[in-house]
Amino acid sequence: MSRLFLVRHGPTHAKTMVGWSDLPADLSDHAALARLEAALPADALVVSSDLIRARSTADAIQARRKRLPHSADLREIHFGAWEMQRFDDVDDQDHIRRFWEEPGDIAAPGGESWNIFAARTNDAIDALRHAHSGQDLVIVAHFGVIITQIQRALGLSAYDAFGHKIDNLSLTEIHTTPNWAAPRINHIL
């Protein structure tokens, strides 16, 4: 069986839309990190987004697992001109509402649409699955990356996938063979 263990990075404490900004994670909850590390398969490979909040979280839970090079393709969605803004501070409220309420081809100015982002993420994860066929992967990434895989596993629309809460330092388990399934979503240890 090939399984994905998707871990959301530690909290940044930002109250804005954080996509490609390279904010550090708060990894002071050592007990939570230890529980998370203990719940992961000992022989899984570890990979992360190239952003510091994901890299440092992966470092904290890696233990003796083999680490793969981090990947820019596992970054959060690119919010473009909305990066580091609060929802209510965006000038074009109609545009941002449509972005969140009708995820698909609508993009932030200078940013990515959901469909472009999901394709990037799916391609990156498929490449990892192909290169490491049959091995479990621990992927330390972001809210959006995890939601894309829930969307795939459950055959949901993007809008319905957004209904899932993904907490920092949570674990989502996705099985990819023989069929896609999501036995654990947003599991807090």
pLDDT tens, residue by residue, 10-22: 999 999 999 999 9
Look-up of token digits 């998370």? 36
Phi, psi of 140 (to 5 degrees): -95, 115
**What structural domains does the chain harbor?**
3-187 (3.40.50.1240)
Confidence class of residue 2 from pLDDT cuts 50, 70 and 90?
A: confident
Predicted confidence (pLDDT) at residue 57 exceeds the cutoff of 70: yes
Percent of the chain with pLDDT strictly greater than 90 = 96
Matching residue, tokens 């899932």: 164
DSSP state of 73: G
Report helix, strand or coil for 173: strand
pLDDT of residue 46: 98
The average confidence (pLDDT) of the chain is 97
Long-range contacts of 116-122 (CB under 8 A, 24+ apart): 117/77, 117/78, 117/144, 117/148, 118/148, 118/151, 118/158, 120/73, 121/73, 121/74, 121/145, 121/148, 121/149, 122/148, 122/152
Q: What is the pLDDT of residues 86-130, one digit of tens each?
A: 999 999 999 999 999 999 999 999 999 999 999 999 999 999 999
Whether residue 1 is predicted with pLDDT greater than 80 in this model: the reply is no
